[in-house]
């Protein structure tokens, strides 16, 4: 499986295109995020979380640090009432099925903490800056056909995140 963040990088794209020009006919991006820390998606996640908590809350801030703190706060509140899974799916059965699949390849939260550590603790060194980059401006340089599959109720990525993409030859469903 190819990491969608690598697909979006021009360097990777050009390498693949140069090495396999007859084999690359297009890209399919399913529920893909090309800028994980964009304010619109963070606002949508927070507001949806508060909606699940039956609290009509409008998030006014567009500051990334403030939104990340608000996001962590609402996620903690959702965990306490066993609703955090609803940020990923409406069905607990889906979470159970994913848990069974994940149990085949046990993992820890170590990698996630290495990525998010510098956000939580500003004294920590950023090890993986590529997770904080905005790859959406690079979409204009990718000329193969791109199929974007996006959920209208995708609260993990953001239901409108795909609108930031500007592939010259894109179709969104």
Angle among Cα 54, 73, 96 to the nearest 5 degrees reads 75
Alpha helical stretches, state H, 26-129: 39-52, 64-80, 92-103, 110-120
Task: Give the pLDDT confidence of 139-151 residue by residue, as tens digits.
Answer: 888 888 999 999 9
Task: Give the pLDDT confidence of 36-70 residue by residue, as tens digits.
Answer: 889 999 999 999 999 999 998 899 999 988 998 89
Task: Give the pLDDT confidence of 99-149 residue by residue, as tens digits.
Answer: 888 888 777 778 778 888 887 788 888 888 888 889 899 888 888 899 999
CA distances for 1 relative to 6, 7, 86, 164, angstroms: 11, 11, 26, 24
Task: Look at residue 17 and tell me whether its pLDDT is greater than 50.
Answer: yes
Query: Which residues partner with 149 through β-bridges?
Result: 30
Residues 131 and 36: beta-carbon distance below 8 Å: yes
d(CA 27, CA 49): 31
DSSP 123: T
Task: Look at residue 8 and tell me whether its pLDDT is greater than 50.
Answer: no
Parse the chain into domains and list their residue ranges: 1-35+133-173
């Amino acid at each position: 499986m190819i990491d969608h963040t690598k697909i979006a990088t021009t360097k990777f794209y050009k390498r693949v295109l140069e090495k396999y020009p007859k084999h690359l006919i297009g890209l399919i991006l399913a529920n893909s995020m090309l800028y994980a820390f964009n304010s619109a998606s963070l606002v949508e996640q927070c507001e949806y979380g508060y909606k699940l908590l039956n609290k009509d809350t409008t998030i006014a801030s567009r500051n990334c640090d403030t939104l990340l703190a608000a996001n962590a706060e609402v996620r903690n509140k959702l965990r306490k009432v066993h609703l955090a899974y609803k940020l990923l799916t409406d069905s607990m059965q889906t979470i159970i099925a994913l848990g069974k699949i994940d149990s085949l390849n046990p993992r820890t939260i170590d990698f996630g903490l290495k990525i998010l550590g510098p956000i939580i603790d500003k004294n920590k060194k950023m090890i993986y800056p590529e997770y904080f980059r905005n790859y959406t401006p690079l979409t204009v340089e990718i000329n193969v056909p791109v199929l974007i599959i996006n959920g209208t109720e995708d609260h993990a990525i953001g239901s409108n995140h795909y609108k930031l993409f500007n592939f010259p030859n894109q179709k969104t469903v």
